[in-house]
Every structure is written in C-alpha cells, then in structure tokens.
Amino acid sequence: KEKSLDKIRKRVSSCKKCSLYKERKNTVFGKGDINTRLLFIGEAPGKEEDLIGEPFVGRAGILLTKIINSIGFERKDIYIANCIKCRPPLNRPPSEDELRQCEEYLIEQIKIINPKLICTLGKYATLNLLKIEEPISSLRGNFYEYLGIKVIPTFHPAYLLRNPRDKALVWEDMKKIRSFLKNESI
C-alpha cells in the first residue's frame, strides 16, 4: 500500500495537468493511517495547507480534529485527503475542469486505502464523489456509495466556523459514523 501511494504522491508532486500548479507552494496529497477504516475527503488546500503540504492544518483543521476526536479517533488513526491537491488562488472553489483533472489521483488513493467508510466534507467534495445535485443540507447524514464504498456526507468544518449552530447536526453525523464502524467490525 505504502509503495503504491508513494508512486501517486510523486506523480502529484510534479503534476501540471491543470493551471493550479502555477501558484502552489506545495502539493497536498493527504495524511494519516493508510490502513484506516475511515477516510475523510475535503475540498482543496487553503493557505496554511499549501505552505505546509498537509491537509487541514488551519482553523478549519483544528475544528476537524475536534470533530474526529469526538468519536474517539485521533488524526493518526484516520486518513484525510482532498479532492484537489493544489491550492486554488484566493481559496476559490475548484472548477469542474480542475476537479476532473485531479480526480484520477483521488480515485487511486481511495482504491489503495480501501476504507469501510468515506466522510465527505462539504458540498464540493460531496458533489464530486456522488454527482447528486442536491444541497449538502439534505445529503448530509445519509449513506451513499462510491466505488463500492459507503459514503456519508457532512458539513465542511470551514462552514461550521461560520455557522456554529449546525455543529449539532455534524455531531449527529459523527454518531452515525461511530455506530456504522462499530457494527461493521462485528
């Protein structure tokens, strides 16, 4: 697994398939336990992630860590990846074309890690995987499937920073994740 992921990581680090390579400082491939049963997928690197080369290390990352801890996991127990591996300028949402160009890396990553459950963070990651044109508020907390793997969407932690009232809904989603993984291991 490690070798296969390293191969893709190398390809990503020199990738110029879309114009986002021009302004990146670092590619952000993903981080965590490659044997995890739970994979989180975010949108794209922000400023801090671009500087450090790791996913979710800024303000949204601190909140994501708390969310992960709330169901008894440490960050090192799970894996975090993004749909897009290079930072979009000014943190604008990734374009359709960029998502399509970068998708092959994410697909390979998911297949190699082969988790039991994927939690998509926010509308872009959710739409990118599920291709269902519905608001994240109606998709979240339900189970879907991608590449034969169960998917549960939830709100993006950056959205929660702006809308803290919806943290309660994410807590509901986290409880579903916890009980899914518990039942799954029986």
Question: 181, 116 in Cβ contact below 8 A?
Answer: yes
Nearer to ligand URA, 63 or 174 (CB): 63
Give the number of other CB atoms < 10 A from CB of residue 140: 21
| Binds ligand URA by CB under 6 A, chosen from 30, 46, 115, 153 | 46
Site string for ligand URA, 79-118 (x = CB under 6 A): ---x------------------------------------
In the chain, DSSP finds a helix count (H) and a strand count (E) of 8, 6
| Binds ligand SF4 by CB under 6 A, chosen from 4, 21, 167, 176 | 21
CA distance 118 to 18: 26
The reply on whether position 42 binds ligand URA by CB under 6 A is: yes
CA distance 92 to 80: 20
Q: Taking CB under 6 A as the criterion, which residues in 50-89 touch ligand SF4?
A: 84-86
Q: What is the dihedral of CA 48, 54, 56, 57, to 10 degrees?
A: -50
Nearer to ligand URA, 13 or 179 (CB): 13
Q: Which does 60 bind (CB under 5 to 8 A by kind): ligand URA, ligand SF4, none?
A: ligand URA
| Binds ligand URA by CB under 6 A, chosen from 56, 73, 79, 155 | 56
Residue 11: what are its φ and ψ, rounded to 5°? -60, -40
Tell me how far the alpha carbon of residue 74 is from its chain's centroid.
16
The reply on whether position 43 binds ligand URA by CB under 6 A is: yes
The reply on whether position 40 binds ligand URA by CB under 6 A is: no
